[in-house]
Amino acid sequence: MILILGGTGEARQLAEALTEREVRVVSSLAGRVARPRLPVGEVRVGGFGGPDGLARYLRENHIDAVVDATHPFAERIGANAAKAAELTQTPLLRLARPGWQAGPQDVWHWADDLADAARQLPGLGDRVFLTSGRQGLPAFAHLDDLWFLIRCVDPPEPPLPRYHELLLARGPYGVAAERALLDRVDVLVTKDSGGPQTSAKLTAARELGKPVVVVRRPPRPDTETAGTVPEAVEWVLHR
């Protein structure tokens, strides 16, 4: 049986592709989204209790291989997966979509993390379109001189920036709709999530000449890596 750590579109595609090939899979979701899009096949929701708990799950459920298809910024589960795979000698693959690349007309400012992104904002504009996810919003809560249009899937918990408007929405998003939102702001903040699901905002920002603060991906454990679902399917089938 294959354990897919996911919640991403790639994780759902991989579960479907493997199920079609009669490979038994179980997909694990963190449970941070209220109404997640569920993959085909068996699904479990919730954490494992750290690397030791994940290692115990791998042993007790006779997992043959693990595919870490979590979000590029899901640092903790990535580290836990690498440690658990080492403890149990279970093959591990990281399915990581390629990051975004700036073009010649893009006005991008790279940030090392959310705190660095917050430090850069006062020099870039007074009105911010913040699309970095609800868990990182406290990094911007102290910026009382700025106004934020905050978009996330589920309602966030405080602290939040003093002046803000909350937009609850789930991608994918179209370029025209993103352009309408960016017309209301001076600068966009996003994480380097990669993939087409939420890239329309970057196209809209390019067309409008708006600056974008892009948060770099955190380092992940050094493991075998695939950039596409078909590559991950081949890796699994060869196991």
Q: What is the mean pLDDT of each run of 10 residues along the chain (239 residues)?
A: 94 97 95 78 94 98 97 93 98 96 96 98 97 95 98 95 96 95 98 92 98 96 95 95
Regarding whether 114 and 46 lie in a shared domain, the answer is no
Asked if residue 204 is part of any domain, the answer here is yes
Regarding whether 203 and 114 lie in a shared domain, the answer is yes
- With 0-12 CB in 10 A as exposed, 13-18 as middle and 19+ as buried, what is 40? middle
Regarding whether 229 and 211 lie in a shared domain, the answer is no
Q: What does the radius of gyration of the chain's CA atoms come to, in whole angstroms?
A: 19
Asked if residue 177 is part of any domain, the answer here is yes
Regarding whether 137 and 88 lie in a shared domain, the answer is no
Regarding whether 176 and 85 lie in a shared domain, the answer is no
Regarding whether 27 and 86 lie in a shared domain, the answer is yes
Asked if residue 103 is part of any domain, the answer here is no
Q: List, as one string, the DSSP characters of 166-188.
A: EEE--S---HHHHHHHHTT-SEE
pLDDT of residue 37: 80
Asked if residue 168 is part of any domain, the answer here is yes
Asked if residue 185 is part of any domain, the answer here is yes
Regarding whether 227 and 169 lie in a shared domain, the answer is no
In three-state secondary structure terms, 112 is: coil
pLDDT of residue 146: 98
The answer to whether the beta carbons of residues 187 and 209 sit under 8 Å apart is no
Domain residue limits at 51: 2-98+220-237
Regarding whether 206 and 112 lie in a shared domain, the answer is yes
- The number of domains in the chain is 2
Regarding whether 131 and 157 lie in a shared domain, the answer is yes
Regarding whether 90 and 116 lie in a shared domain, the answer is no
Q: Which two tokens stand for residue 99?
A: 């990051």
**Beta strands 108-111 and 92-95: pairing type?**
unpaired
Regarding whether 226 and 196 lie in a shared domain, the answer is no
The CATH number of the domain holding residue 112 is 3.40.50
Tally of CA atoms within 13 A in the half-sphere of 171 that contains its CB: 19
The answer to whether the beta carbons of residues 184 and 165 sit under 8 Å apart is no
The CATH number of the domain holding residue 49 is 3.40.50.720
Asked if residue 14 is part of any domain, the answer here is yes
Asked if residue 17 is part of any domain, the answer here is yes
Angstrom CA distances, 112 to 115, 156, 216, stand at 8, 23, 5
Asked if residue 26 is part of any domain, the answer here is yes
- Residue 194 dihedral angles phi and psi, to the nearest 5°: 75, 170
Regarding whether 86 and 45 lie in a shared domain, the answer is yes
Compute the C-alpha angle 64/77/227, nearest 5°: 70
